Amino acid sequence: MPILRKTVSLFLTLFLFSFAAFMAFQIIPGDAVLATLGTEATPEQIAQMRSELGYDKPLLTRYWNWISGFVRGDLGISLGYRMPVSEILKDKIPITAALSVLAFLLVVIISFPLGILYSKLLGSPLNSLVVSLNQIMMSVPPFFIGIVFTFVFGISLRLFTPGNFISHTQNPVQFWTYLFFPALAIALPRAAQTIKLLRSSILTEMNKDYVRSGTSRGNTKNRLLYVHVLRNALIPVITFLAMTFSGIVAGSIIIEQIFVIPGIGRLLLLSISNRDYPMVLSIVMIIALVVILMNYLADVLCQLVDPRTRK
Amino acid sequence: MTKRNYNLIFGIILSAFVVILLTVGVFWTPYNPDAMNAAQRLQGPSPEHILGTDNFGRDIFSRVLKGGVSTLWISVSTVLFGLVCGIIVGAFTGYYGGILDEIVMRLNDVLNSFPSILLSLVFVSLLGPGKKNVVIALGLLFIPSFARITRSEFVRIKNLDYVKCARLEGVPDLRIMFVHILPNAVNTLLSTTAIGFNNAVLAEASLSFLGIGVQPPDPSLGRMLAESQTYLFSAPWYTLSAGGMIILLILGFGLLSDGLGDIE
């Protein structure tokens, strides 16, 4: 039943967020229609565009039209491009999605082995060195790593050409090579955070009674770690990783600027400066959808892994 | 067993170092941070300019100090704003509970799960760029995390015997909340505040990096970093100085937060 409750809460959250986001874009100062048509537009032109965009209907009707359209995949018309928002987003979303998923995979690939390894170092002289390095890595903003990467791997080592993005249809290999460095830039600080959490989570579990009784029954340390401790220690990490994913998506917005990747991050910033609100609203809503779904999945996953939360 | 709290020690040393450096920067910088000098463009670090000069021949060290001051000022105002509002929201919802509590906490969940950089981007796009709007946008976004921590502390403490006694004696609710309960929540709040600084520095730097935070002529670490990208090859010290200052700020507050969390 708790999963059912979570599902109800999921839809409630989605409704609340979409409503709040929609309203926020209705009360903004500055009329989007006037901004598009310019100050010299005639009252007729303004009235026509208003009714074209549905701005003359009551607020709640407009919310309903917008959200029911959103569910069907109709995101409205972009003010800047004068094209359906969904047409423009169709090419951009896969790029940002690829970047985010790659970054997420890198976080997992880097942090799980290292987190486990670091937890074994407790008491050795390497411990404080590793912990300090990890803390420093956590404090480096992804965009700074991104700039350093373009310098080291792009300009100096020529492993990729900064600014020369290659689309997946042109050359899949170069596409993924190009995305690797921005993804790594996003992943490194997040991986460091995950390592820290995983390490402390393992060390906390190691002090529990079941580990002591496991040891007294003659289990080896490794067997205890991989069969018993890790299962419990991963629970907080799973929740954290779900939250990390939303951070990764946000991080990709900034990283796309540095590596000149034509994803939704660049589009979002462009639309913000163009006051293209239907576009901004759609992008925000799509990211919110991903974030909220990820959190929901993490909750469900935690309950599957940990029966104690299933009360 | 006394175990040294190294996180706290290094956190205090590092944060104090940066804050003192920046406090000096408020009143004095080696050069005027806006003074241009065409004869000394993009010079490497030297005894005269310890961090070199930028593309206009301005002293980078002076600009890093001024930019750091601006970042720190924004972070402090943001965190204070979020902290005060968050404590009030958290105190009332935690102490009284009920339907209001439920609604506010659901709203908190939504805001909390959302990347703050993205939301502040949207806020700033609605309000327009500039120092003041960055503070408002980030401050609003920081309310939920402080409210949640305050609330959970209040829920825990309000059922303790001493609070029940106070209530029996007829102490007014407001006095119980802010004189009897709040001081016991300070420890937890301190650590959260340090994380808040951390996030604020990062968020401010990111916004300015994207060009929608602090606007020229105010110096800003994020924008310096963005500008330095062009001169990465000829003047790497430009990037490293601006980035280094951001890292120092985040590292110091991060250690401080961990250290404060380890107390008890």
Put simply, the answer to whether B115 touches A141 (Cβ < 8 Å) is no
Put simply, the answer to whether A147 touches B126 (Cβ < 8 Å) is no
Closest chain A C-alpha to B178 CA, distance in angstroms? 31
The residue of A9, A27, A147 whose CB has the most chain B CBs within 10 angstroms, and thus the best one to mutate to test that interface, is A147
Q: Which residues of B touch A189 (CB under 8 A)?
A: none
DSSP tag of B212: S
- Residue identified by tokens 């979002």 is A268
Token pair recorded at residue B173: 């609710």
> Which of A9, A143, A280 is the closest to B122 by Cβ?
A280
pLDDT of residue A35: 63
Determine if the peptide bond prior to B129 is cis (ω within 30°). Answer: no
What is the per-residue pLDDT across A190-203, written as a single tens digit (0 to 9) for each?
A: 999 999 899 988 88
pLDDT of residue A33: 64
Euclidean distance between the first and the last CA atom of chain A, given in angstroms as a whole number = 9
For residue B59, the SS3 value is: strand
Q: Are the C-beta atoms of residues B244 and B72 closer than 8 Å to each other?
A: no
What is the per-residue pLDDT across B208-254, written as a single tens digit (0 to 9) for each?
A: 888 877 777 777 888 888 888 878 777 788 888 888 888 888 888 88
Contact status of A143 with chain B (Cβ, < 8 Å): yes
Alpha carbon B120 to its chain's center: 14
> Which of A13, A250, A257 is the closest to B109 by Cβ?
A13
H helix intervals, chain B: 6-27, 60-96, 98-113, 116-127, 131-157, 161-168, 173-175, 182-209, 221-228, 236-262
Put simply, the answer to whether B225 touches A250 (Cβ < 8 Å) is no
> Which of B106, B113, B254 is the closest to A291 by Cβ?
B113
Q: What are phi and psi of B155, to 5 degrees?
A: -60, -40
pLDDT of residue A104: 93
Put simply, the answer to whether B126 touches A25 (Cβ < 8 Å) is yes
H helix intervals, A207-263: 209-216, 221-223, 230-259
Q: Which residues of B touch A251 (CB under 8 A)?
A: 115, 117
List Cβ neighbours of A173 (8 Å cut-off, separation of 6 or more). none
d(CA B164, CA B161): 5
pLDDT of residue A184: 93
Token pair recorded at residue A32: 């989007």
d(CA A180, CA A176): 6
Q: Which residues of A touch B254 (CB under 8 A)?
A: 135, 138-139
State ipTM: 0.80
pLDDT of residue B16: 86
Closest chain A C-alpha to B226 CA, distance in angstroms? 9
% of chain B with per-residue pLDDT over 90? 4
pLDDT of residue A53: 65
Going by C-alpha positions, the residue among A163, A189, A180 that lies closest to residue A102 is A180
Q: What is the dihedral of CA B40, B46, B52, B55, to 10 degrees?
A: 20
What is the per-residue pLDDT across B82-134, written as a single tens digit (0 to 9) for each?
A: 999 999 998 888 888 888 887 787 777 777 767 777 778 777 777 777 788 88
DSSP tag of B231: G
d(CA A50, CA A32): 10
d(CA A117, CA A212): 21
Q: Which residues of A touch B122 (CB under 8 A)?
A: 24, 272, 280, 284
d(CA B262, CA B264): 6
pLDDT of residue B71: 87
> Which of A141, A251, A272 is the closest to B125 by Cβ?
A272
Asked if the model's pLDDT at residue B1 lies above 50, the reply is: no
Q: Could you say which residues of chain A have pLDDT below 70? A: 1, 28-41, 50, 52-56, 309-311
Cross-strand pairs, B53: B59
- Which long-range contacts does A57-60 make (Cβ < 8 Å, 24+ apart)? A59/A23, A59/A26
d(CA A117, CA B207): 36
How many Cβ atoms from other residues are within 10 Å of residue A155's Cβ? 14
> Which of A136, A155, A291 is the closest to B114 by Cβ?
A291
Token pair recorded at residue B127: 């309000």
Contact status of A291 with chain B (Cβ, < 8 Å): yes
d(CA A186, CA A265): 14
List Cβ neighbours of A45 (8 Å cut-off, separation of 6 or more). A37
d(CA B133, CA B213): 8
Closest chain A C-alpha to B7 CA, distance in angstroms? 10
Put simply, the answer to whether A243 touches B113 (Cβ < 8 Å) is yes
pTM of the model: 0.83
Give chain B's largest Cα–Cα span: 77
Mean pLDDT of chain B: 82
Euclidean distance between the first and the last CA atom of chain B, given in angstroms as a whole number = 12
Contact status of A22 with chain B (Cβ, < 8 Å): no
Report which residue type is found at B123.
F
Q: What are phi and psi of A84, to 5 degrees?
A: -60, 135
Put simply, the answer to whether B106 touches A9 (Cβ < 8 Å) is yes
- Residue identified by tokens 């995305």 is A179
List Cβ neighbours of B10 (8 Å cut-off, separation of 6 or more). B255, B259
Closest chain A C-alpha to B92 CA, distance in angstroms? 22
CATH match of A85-309 with 1.10.510.10: no
d(CA A120, CA B119): 39
d(CA A162, CA A154): 6
> Which of B6, B212, B225 is the closest to A147 by Cβ?
B225
Name the region of B64 (left: φ>0; alpha: ψ -120 to 50; beta: rest).
alpha
d(CA B58, CA B60): 6
